[in-house]
């Protein structure tokens, strides 16, 4: 076991299960980032599903959302469910009997890929906050090197939601010669002030935790409380008012009369948020949360490309953009803006909206509706 892997297992993501289906790609040369800084190299954890055709022309890339990883679906009966379970597999929306699916943990991540908790080979210690700032563009260029390693030069479709949708758009803009179709879901073409505001509050919760210690907490207790609060804030943005009423209402957690009139009162919605915060702490690194949310904030297809419309002009392939009617994090108008701009540019772009009460999480929950839309689009692509 390498020194980096050993430290990874001992760090904030030490509780990650090492999956036998996970593979690793190591890029052992300097990798220049959008910021101008350079990583001495990196590792990406990835998983594949299905069989690569002899012509290598049946590739589907699925980038993951903020706290996702390379395990988008189970590989065999009894395997751990993936974050997009029910969407990827034999006979499903993304049919692995037809397509070869690649899902990689992003650069800057904490589920096997190089990120803040990894060892800096120049110091022999975890990077912590000395890890350079990364962008959505950096994530995609790192994935491009993975595909180069696999001998893949054409991608049939890139499909992803939320942060995965940002990567989907970036793929089509940065590497238009490789991508044949895209499906960005519940994502903007540039982050809004409101979404940036949500992320900043979460970051401040982490950095205010005394156990954060400027990001150098890997030899002891980490900022678990701060990360849990950040997750609680995030979970609120993934819901909608209607979904909160439907799930929780004003129900209490068996509160006694004495508890009712105190700060110990636990409404069901409070209990849910605490549970979700605890769950994330068990599998995610706090510094990674800081870096990935900043990458979300920095996302703007038009930066360095002559503006938003000019950037979208690089997309020349069939595009299906999916929005969620009740999404408060990335509202449907942001997806419609992408489609209307692409249509002005003469691109075959269409918009589909999932009408549901679940908020941003709708793309993870509404399996039947998303499957119908995806399957129709994939079938029309042939």
4 or 380, which is more confident? 380
Residue ranges of alpha helices (H) inside the chain are 3-10, 136-149, 163-174, 193-208, 224-237, 241-247, 257-260, 268-281, 286-298, 308-312, 332-344, 362-365, 367-381
To the nearest 5 percent, what fractions of the chain are helix, strand and coil? Answer: 40, 15, 45
Average of pLDDT values for 227-234?
A: 98
Q: Is 162 a catalytic residue?
A: yes
* 152 plus 281 within the same structural domain: no
Is the confidence at residue 20, as pLDDT, over 90? no
Q: What is the CA radius of gyration of the chain?
A: 21
CATH number of the domain to which 278 belongs: 1.10.1740.110
Could you count the other beta carbons within 10 Å of the beta carbon of residue 247? 14
**pLDDT, tens digit, for every residue of 315-352?**
999 999 999 999 999 999 999 999 999 999 999 999 99
Q: Report residue 350 as tokens.
A: 């269409």
Q: Of the residues 238, 264, 291, which one is the last residue of a structural domain?
A: 291
Domain count, the chain: 2
* 319 plus 263 within the same structural domain: no
Residue 158, strand partner residues: 61, 182
Could you count the other beta carbons within 10 Å of the beta carbon of residue 289? 27
* 315 plus 226 within the same structural domain: no
d(CA 171, CA 101): 15
Q: Identify the active-site residue in 69, 138, 327, 361.
A: 327
* 23 plus 68 within the same structural domain: yes
Range of the structural domain that residue 208 is part of: 196-291
In what helix (H) or strand (E) does residue 129 lie, and over which residues does it extend?
none
Could you count the other beta carbons within 10 Å of the beta carbon of residue 100? 20
* 8 plus 104 within the same structural domain: yes
**pLDDT, tens digit, for every residue of 45-62?**
999 999 999 999 999 999
Could you count the other beta carbons within 10 Å of the beta carbon of residue 333? 12
* 281 plus 334 within the same structural domain: no
**pLDDT, tens digit, for every residue of 81-133?**
999 999 999 999 999 999 999 999 999 999 999 999 999 999 999 999 999 99
Q: Identify the active-site residue in 11, 70, 113, 162.
A: 162
Q: Give backbone dihedrals phi and psi of 45, rounded to 5 degrees, phi first.
A: -85, 140
* 62 plus 132 within the same structural domain: yes
Q: Is 240 a catalytic residue?
A: no
* 62 plus 176 within the same structural domain: yes
Q: Identify the active-site residue in 224, 326, 360, 361.
A: 360
Provide DSSP, 317-368. S-EEEEEETT-SSS-HHHHHHHHHHHHHTT--EEEEEE--SSGGGHHHH-HH
Q: Is 27 within 8 Å of 40 (Cβ atoms)? A: no
* 283 plus 305 within the same structural domain: no
Average pLDDT over the chain, rounded to an integer: 94
Q: Of the residues 291, 317, 332, which one is the last residue of a structural domain?
A: 291
Q: Is 209 a catalytic residue?
A: no
* 318 plus 336 within the same structural domain: yes
Q: Report residue 65 as tokens.
A: 């959302």
At residue 306, the pLDDT reads 97
User: Which residues make Cβ contacts (< 8 Å) with residue 217, sequence separation at least 6?
Assistant: 12, 128, 211, 223, 286
d(CA 355, CA 219): 47
Looking at 12-26, 85-99, 265-279, which range is the least confident one? 12-26
Four-CA torsion 164, 146, 157, 168, nearest 10 degrees: 30
* 305 plus 364 within the same structural domain: yes
CATH number of the domain to which 43 belongs: 3.40.50.1820
Q: Of the residues 260, 291, 322, which one is the last residue of a structural domain?
A: 291
At residue 18, the pLDDT reads 55
* 150 plus 98 within the same structural domain: yes
Q: Which of 27, 66, 264, 269 is nearest to 164 (CA)?
A: 66
Block residue for tokens 């209490």: 252
Average of pLDDT values for 362-368?
A: 95
């Amino acid at each position: 076991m390498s020194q980096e892997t050993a430290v990874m297992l001992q760090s904030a993501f030490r509780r990650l299960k090492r999956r036998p289906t996970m593979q690793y790609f190591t890029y052992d040369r300097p990798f220049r980032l959008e910021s101008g800084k350079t990583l001495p190299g990196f590792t990406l954890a990835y998983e594949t599903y299905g069989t690569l055709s002899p012509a290598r022309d049946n590739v589907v890339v699925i980038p993951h959302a903020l706290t996702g990883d390379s395990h988008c679906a189970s590989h065999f009966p009894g395997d751990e469910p993936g974050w997009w379970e029910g969407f990827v597999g034999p006979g499903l929306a993304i049919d692995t009997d037809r397509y070869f699916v690649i899902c990689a943990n992003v650069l800057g991540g904490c589920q096997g890929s190089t990120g803040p908790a990894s060892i800096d080979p120049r110091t022999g210690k975890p990077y912590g906050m000395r890890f350079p700032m990364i962008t959505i563009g950096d994530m995609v260029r790192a994935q491009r090197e993975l595909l180069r390693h696999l001998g893949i030069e054409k991608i049939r479709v890139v499909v992803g939601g939320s942060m995965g949708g940002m990567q989907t758009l970036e793929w089509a803009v940065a590497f238009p010669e490789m991508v044949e179709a895209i499906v960005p879901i519940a994502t903007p073409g540039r982050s809004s002030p409101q979404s940036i505001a949500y992320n900043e509050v979460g970051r401040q919760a982490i950095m205010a935790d005394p156990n954060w210690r400027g990001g150098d907490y890997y030899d002891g207790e980490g900022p678990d409380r701060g990360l849990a609060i950040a997750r609680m804030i995030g979970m609120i943005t993934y819901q909608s008012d209607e979904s909160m009423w439907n799930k929780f209402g004003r129900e209490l957690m068996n509160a006694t009369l004495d508890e009712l009139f105190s700060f110990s009162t636990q409404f069901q919605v409070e209990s849910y948020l605490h549970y979700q915060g605890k769950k994330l702490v068990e599998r995610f690194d706090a510094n990674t949360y800081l870096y990935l949310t900043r990458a979300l904030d920095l996302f703007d297809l038009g930066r360095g490309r002559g503006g938003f419309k000019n950037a979208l002009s690089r997309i020349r392939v069939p595009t299906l953009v999916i929005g969620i009617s009740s999404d408060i994090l990335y509202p449907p108008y942001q997806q419609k803006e992408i489609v209307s701009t692409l249509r002005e540019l003469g691109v075959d772009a269409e918009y589909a909206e999932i009408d549901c009460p679940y908020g941003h999480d709708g793309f993870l929950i509404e399996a039947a509706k998303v499957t119908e839309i995806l399957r129709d689009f994939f079938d029309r692509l042939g």
